[in-house]
Structure 1
Amino acid sequence: MFSPRACEGDTNPVLIPFLLAAAAAAAAPPAAMRLDYFHTGDAREERFALDAVVREGPWPGPPDRRLDDTGLGRYQFEVRDAKSGEPLYSRGFASIYGEWETTPEARDRARGFQESVRFPEPEALVTVTIKKRDARGVFQPAWSVTVDPAGPAVDRRPPPAIKVWAVMKNGEPADKVDLLLLGDGYTVAEMDKWHRDAKRLADTLFAVSPFREHRARFNVWAADTPSEESGVSRPSDGVYRRTALGTTYDAFGSERY
């Protein structure tokens, strides 16, 4: 039973832990939700198909900048509350499909690419819409899908045990731009080399403008993903390697990639 005497003095030993716990719960970030889909088509048309919805770890983004007002990107995705239509999250992005559809190959055949978008886990049913710029540069809906965060189809398995380490940390992820480096074609015995290369890449990037002037606004992380074989595939030279990420040169048949 509540007693007025408990409020006498400067502190309440019962109430304070409750308030601290409530404040901590309120400050805890939501989980991250990842929507995986297939982006297919050719130079004349494109199609989308749902692959999976995955619940990940805590959302690392800024809590006060959910809606994108930059207007950048050839594509944009938008998350809206399915009942009220209220916008909850949006981001512009560039897709490798958007470049592939301009290649000569796209005039002769269709291809598909796996893509993903991530957003803070919503509290209720949402509609996720992928938009693409039209000839006038205006975003137009290209595909929509309904996502139920409480649905049984959401993959809630723990993430794989991958070591992620800080190459350069200048603050908490919610307050910085976070870059993640992935090294492919490094075996277990070459992890030390991968760590040196990751640090060298970060140092090189932030030694030039405009990154040099904004270094303090960034964090750089790296993930250790050991491969069975050393090196990466280069089909134009007849070189093929079995690696963790399956990266390769010669994408789209171009040496530029």
Structure 2
Amino acid sequence: MKKSIIIAAIINCMAISSFAQEFGKHFADSTLRLDYIFGGKVSSDGKPECQVLLDGLVRTTGWSGRRNNLVSMPLAGNGRVTVRDKESGDTIYVTTFSTLFQEWLAMPESREVARSFENSFLVPMPRRLVTIDVELYDSNRKKVVEMSHNVNPSDILIVDRSNVNPNPHRYIHRSTHPERAIDVAILSEGYSVAEMDSFYKAAEIAVDAILSHEPFRSRADEFNFVAVGAPSSDSGVSVPRLGAWKSTAAGSNFSTFYSDRYLTTRNVKRVHDCLINVPYEHIIILANTTEYGGGGIYNFYTLTTAGHASFRPVVVHEFGHSFGGLA
């Protein structure tokens, strides 16, 4: 199947015009952020030994995700979050994903030491008590680990961030149908306050590049792109091979898994904190550097450099990974 057809199928699933009455029955118009720690290693016989640990729950304003096709996803990914009504046991919401932790399990280091990785997932805030199931799979779709826990929406220890003022942001592209659009947040990384104009220009280039390709070009009305200017203390991003470590909004660095061009961040909660109360369901992070590189993980984030000459094709390429799950 052509890549454009795969992505078009995802857009169709996530941006359907009819309003689903089932959403209002089960969910409020707010977001529950599920923060987890995925950790473990690979045993001497080659089997993953993993754990999924609940790290925290956060409530934010509004729900920007899908309100239709709540219990199905067009791609399986390497993980799945299932929300079940506690009383009836019915599945009321499903999302799928892949993670940096699961990539790391294929690295030689995973046989030598156990590591932990942050992971955050957004689901609509349930109206009643629910059970959350988290499952991780290997590349052969064999279940590696699963964990379940209950969430009571009235739990006083759910951190309420719904009244937090969002970071400065502006829409680069706004759908004519905002109620059914797919919301993509573009986050600044390594831009100081004085460099924010450069960030917004880079965000415009990124959106223009993505919307110049099919199937995005003919489906532009299905997307919102909002640029979020979260300032960094330092200008630029961390380049370990050069001994350069920076204090930045998303805490990203090159040399992920010792691959010079692989640019990622393990500070996933920090990324989501930067986007609090901005409408989003997908994330693109633009790094202020002329170094070549990037990374994209399905339903996780896209991270790419904005200062390199290949910025336009690379941001489209990495968005194909994170939005479309393309290999």
| TM-score, L = length of structure 1 | 0.83
1:115 corresponds in structure 2 to 119
Aligned-residue RMSD, C-alpha? 2.1
The structural deviation recorded for 1:63 is 2.1
1:30 corresponds in structure 2 to 29
Looking at structure 1, the residues matched to 176 and 76 of structure 2 have their Cα atoms a distance apart, in angstroms, of: 25
Q: Letter of the aligned partner of 1:99 in structure 2?
A: E
Looking at structure 2, the residues matched to 100 and 141 of structure 1 have their Cα atoms a distance apart, in angstroms, of: 16
Does residue 52 of structure 2 align to residue 52 of structure 1?
no
Looking at structure 2, the residues matched to 181 and 170 of structure 1 have their Cα atoms a distance apart, in angstroms, of: 16
Looking at structure 2, the residues matched to 245 and 163 of structure 1 have their Cα atoms a distance apart, in angstroms, of: 16
The structural deviation recorded for 1:136 is 5.0
Aligned partners of 2:170 and 2:226 also within 8 Å: yes
Largest Rg, 1 or 2? 1
Looking at structure 1, the residues matched to 176 and 104 of structure 2 have their Cα atoms a distance apart, in angstroms, of: 37
Aligned length in residues:
232
Looking at structure 1, the residues matched to 49 and 215 of structure 2 have their Cα atoms a distance apart, in angstroms, of: 37
Looking at structure 1, the residues matched to 28 and 125 of structure 2 have their Cα atoms a distance apart, in angstroms, of: 9
2:39 corresponds in structure 1 to 40
2:217 corresponds in structure 1 to 212
Looking at structure 2, the residues matched to 128 and 188 of structure 1 have their Cα atoms a distance apart, in angstroms, of: 39
Aligned partners of 1:68 and 1:92 also within 8 Å: no
Looking at structure 2, the residues matched to 197 and 108 of structure 1 have their Cα atoms a distance apart, in angstroms, of: 40
Structure 1: runs of 5+ lacking an equivalent: 1-25
Structure 2: runs of 5+ lacking an equivalent: 1-23, 43-47, 263-327
Alignment of 1:230-249 (within 5 A): 230-249=235-254
Task: Find 1:91's aligned residue among 91, 95, 111.
Answer: 95
Alignment of 1:97-246 (within 5 A): 97-133=101-137, 137=141, 142-157=146-161, 158-246=163-251
The structural deviation recorded for 1:219 is 1.4
Distance 1:143 1:173, change over 3 A: farther
The structural deviation recorded for 1:115 is 0.6
Aligned partners of 1:39 and 1:47 also within 8 Å: yes
Distance 1:35 1:178, change over 3 A: same
Looking at structure 2, the residues matched to 173 and 105 of structure 1 have their Cα atoms a distance apart, in angstroms, of: 45
**Higher RCO (CA < 8 A, seq sep 6+):** 2
Distance 1:83 1:170, change over 3 A: same
Looking at structure 2, the residues matched to 102 and 74 of structure 1 have their Cα atoms a distance apart, in angstroms, of: 13
Distance 1:66 1:236, change over 3 A: same
Task: Find 1:66's aligned residue among 64, 70, 77.
Answer: 70
| TM-score, L = length of structure 2 | 0.66
